[in-house]
Every structure is written in C-alpha cells, then in structure tokens.
A and B are shown apart, each in its own frame.
Chain A
Amino acid sequence: MSHPGSTAAEAISVLDLTTAAKEMLEGGIPKLWVRGEVTGLKVYPSGHWYFAIKDADSSISAVVWKGATFKIPARPKDGDQVTAFGQLTVYPARGSMQFTVTQMLADGEGLWQRQFDETKRKLEADGLLDPARKRVLPRFPRTVAVITSSEGAALRDVIAVIQRRHAGVHVMIIPALVQGEGAPESICAALEKLARWAVSDRAAAGIPVPEVLIIGRGGGSREDLWAFNHESVARAIAACPIPTISAVGHETDVTIADLVADLRAATPSVAAEHAVPVLDELREHVGKLAGIMADGLQDRCEVGRRDLQRRAEGLSKRAQLVSERRRSRAERVAQRLMQLAPRAAERRRALVARLGAALEAKSPLQVFARGFSVARDDAGATLTTLSAFVSGKQFELLVKDGRVLATTNSVHADAPHLRTDA
C-alpha cells in the first residue's frame, strides 16, 4: 500500500508534513479545557502572549493571540495554576505542537478577581476611590449625556425613563463599544469627547452642554462587562468634568467603573431616575415655595400690623399722658399765678405807699414844716447863693405859713450851718 512519502521517491515537503499534522491534531482533538501551571510567559511587542503550560511530567507550548487577550482579564504569572480553553495545533514554522488559548481561568475565578483587585489598589493609591471625591449630582440637569452602545437596551431604557420623568430634558448620546476587543479604548474615546464638549461650554445643535453623565450597559456575562473594569476606563471616568452615574449590568454586578463614578446605579433605568427629576414634582415643589413665600409675607405683614397697632396704642396712651402732664403743669402755673397775684397787688400797694411817702418827704411844704424857708427876688427867682443877695435890696422869704418881706443888711461868706464837723 502506497501513500505520500512511503518511498524516498515520493518524499513530501516539510510544509505538507506539518500541515498534515496540524489537520490531524485539529481534527482529532476538539477545543478543550486544560489544567496546568503557567511558565515562561512572555509578551511580544506584537501583543501576543507566549508561555508553556506544564504539570509534573509534561509541558505544552501555548499562545494567546493579541486578539484574544482582551477576553482574559489579567495576564497570568509564572507559577499560576490555570485552566485554559483552546485548540491544540501545530506551529508550522517550527513544527512544534502549540496550544492556542482563547480563554483562561486561574483557580476558578482567580484571574478576574486578581485583576479587579489590582486595578482597585492602583486607583485607591491615587485617591480615585476616595469618598470625598464623590460629586453631588445636579438636581435639575438640562442635558444628560449617555455613553453606551447605540444598539443596546440600556440606551432605550435610559431615554424612555428620562422622557417619562421630564420630557424637557435633552439626551446626548455618545456611542461606544461596550464589549469585546477595543471596548475600553472606545469608551475612553467617548469620555474624552464628552470632556472636550463639556469644557467647551458651547451648545451642540441647540443642546446645552450636559451636566451629568450616565455611563454603562445592560446585563451580560462577566467577560461582556469587563471593559468597565479596565483601569483606563476608570481613570477616564474619574477625570470626567461632569458628575457621573455608572450603570453596568445588573444589581449584582459591581465594576471598577462603579467604584469610581460619583454614583452607582443598579441598572441603566435606575441611573436615569437618579439623573432626572420628575417634572410634575418639580412644578409642585415650585408651587409650594410660592405658597410658603406668600403665606410667609402675609404672616409677616400681620405681625407688622399687630406691631404697628401695639405701637399706635402705646403712642396714643403716651400722648394722653403727655397732655395730662402738660395740663397739670398749666394748672400748677395758674395756681401759682393765682397765689402770686394778690401778693403782687399788695407789693404794688406798698410800693405806691412808699413812693408816696418819699414824694411827701420831698415836698417843699414838708421842708417848710421842718423850719426851712426859701428866699425869692421880686421876679420870683429863688435866691440860692450869696451873690444873689444885694445889700439894701428887698427880697421875699417864703415860710411854712406865709411870706416875709425882708431887706439884706450884709452878706458873709462863712457858713457854719453847712459844716459837718461841727
């Protein structure tokens, strides 16, 4: 029986041999899970991972092509016990057997958890998980930005909830791949685009810049959600200039994005509820405030009115008091005047009497009564000095009870009656 390569003349090429071996292996051994220890892992610049999986007595070369690495949360380390899913094949260039890995688990769930913990630790070290970083959501955003898949149920849910609650709120969608290869990069690019728009502070097509972001996706496998555990995504969310609400998967799914976001919502619908108030409730709230204001002012006016009334009453009482005081004062004055009046009259009478007496004392008649007399010449002029008397000349002397005609005999200059020392 003859077959290719059965004789020297029918020798086949190396390529044919390796190809035949490859086909045989791939046809004979289906894709399967293999358990073993990772050793000699190297990451090539091309992005592929090369390593070996071994146990006590055997070893097999293994590779994870770059395109499959995103499905594996963390690169295994040498010594890790892993369970790898893949296809046994032949690498023609070296003619060696190689296990092409497409999925990998470490100690059951270990790899995912390890990567999660490691990313968390890094973010924690940078302070990005600090509760003090959490921003307060705006109460009344005019625009909500949504980063998610443009095809997913998450987007439909978010839009429906927002429109039901407050039909006046705008929704700006920034689509991103949320799973599979390139998802973290796509989400980061969307976040950066949003950040550029938000800081530009310029409306786009009449829609004002958003004041809050909802980022997430609907439910899926852990692999599907893994982009939201990516460190670069977490950092981009932390750097977002507006407050963020994460909504990844279902209630039980907690991702790194959830830890970094300002608020974690269990689902996209719940995120929309957190983002947007109910319009009717807002109107009611504003109406209530108007009522409180009006009542408050009315009450305040009532208080003012009562206060004014109290003051007015006080004032009128005081006015009464004042007029009473004034009246009593007038009375006192009048009384005093009354008292003073008779006394004044008396005084005046006494004064008149005194003045009368003085006048009387000065009366020439009184002077005559005291023995004085007045000399007058024949013309009636009073002779008061020596020179008025001329020897031998007649003059008249007025006394108390009549006139005396006299003649001057002689005049003498001495006047002993005027001397005070006598």
Chain B
Amino acid sequence: MTFEQSLARLEQIASALDRDDLPLEDALKLFEEGITRLREASAALADAEGKVKTLLEQADGVFGAKE
C-alpha cells in the first residue's frame, strides 16, 4: 500500500471506530487493521532525505538521473 492508500484507509477506520454502532468484534478487527496501517504510514513519515536530481533518458529508453 502507498502512503496515500494507508492514510486514506486509516481515516476510514478512525471514522468507523468513532461511531458506537459498530459490532464490537468488527471494531476490534478494524482496530487491528488500523494499527497495521498506522505502522505503514508512520514508517513512510520517518525521516527520509529527498533527492533533487535531473532526469536523464538513455538511448535504450531507460531513465536515470544526475545531480
């Protein structure tokens, strides 16, 4: 799952859990899934260093990059 998908699912789960009419068993299941998504999303937000490069297209159609 991409960060975007994880977060969207997380938002769904949070809003579902925010309601009281959910059967408890479903709520637990959702919560469990939510924890997984939360881990994914948090990992994606961990400190990472974005690169700034210039796109290079090689003759064989393969793409590379240079500083």
Contact = CB atoms under 8 A, between A and B. Distances in A.
Contact of A297 (B28, B48, B63): B28
27 contacts: A140-B44, A150-B54, A170-B51, A170-B52, A170-B53, A172-B53, A172-B54, A172-B65, A173-B55, A174-B54, A196-B57, A204-B56, A204-B64, A205-B66, A207-B51, A286-B7, A286-B42, A289-B14, A290-B38, A292-B14, A292-B18, A293-B38, A296-B17, A296-B18, A297-B27, A300-B20, A301-B24
What 10 A-B pairs are tightest by C-beta distance, nearest first?
A: A296-B17, A205-B65, A168-B48, A204-B63, A292-B14, A304-B24, A171-B52, A300-B27, A169-B50, A173-B54
The majority secondary structure among interface residues of chain A is helix
B50 A206 contact: no
A175 interface: yes
Interface in A287-327: 289-290, 292-293, 295-297, 299-301, 303-304
Interface of A: 138-140, 142, 145, 150, 159, 162-163, 166-175, 193-194, 196-197, 200, 202, 204-207, 279, 282-283, 285-286, 289-290, 292-293, 295-297, 299-301, 303-304
A167 B50 contact: yes
A209 B66 CA distance: 15
A200 B28 contact: no
B7 A140 contact: yes
B57 to A, nearest CB: 6
Contacts of B44: 140
B57 A193 contact: yes
A204 B50 CA distance: 14
Contacts of B52: 159, 163, 170-171, 173
Nearest to A192: B57
B4 to A, nearest CB: 5
Given A196-B61, A283-B45, A293 B50 contact: no
Q: Which of B3, B53, B55 has most chain A Cβ within 10 Å? A: B55
A188 to B, nearest CB: 15
Interface of B: 2-4, 7, 10-11, 13-20, 22, 24, 27-28, 31, 34, 38, 41-42, 44-45, 47-57, 61-66
Nearest to B18: A296
B14 A296 contact: yes
Given A138-B4, A293-B14, 20 more contacts: A140-B7, A142-B3, A159-B52, A162-B50, A163-B52, A171-B50, A173-B54, A193-B55, A196-B63, A204-B56, A205-B51, A205-B53, A207-B53, A282-B45, A286-B10, A286-B38, A293-B13, A300-B17, A300-B24, A300-B27
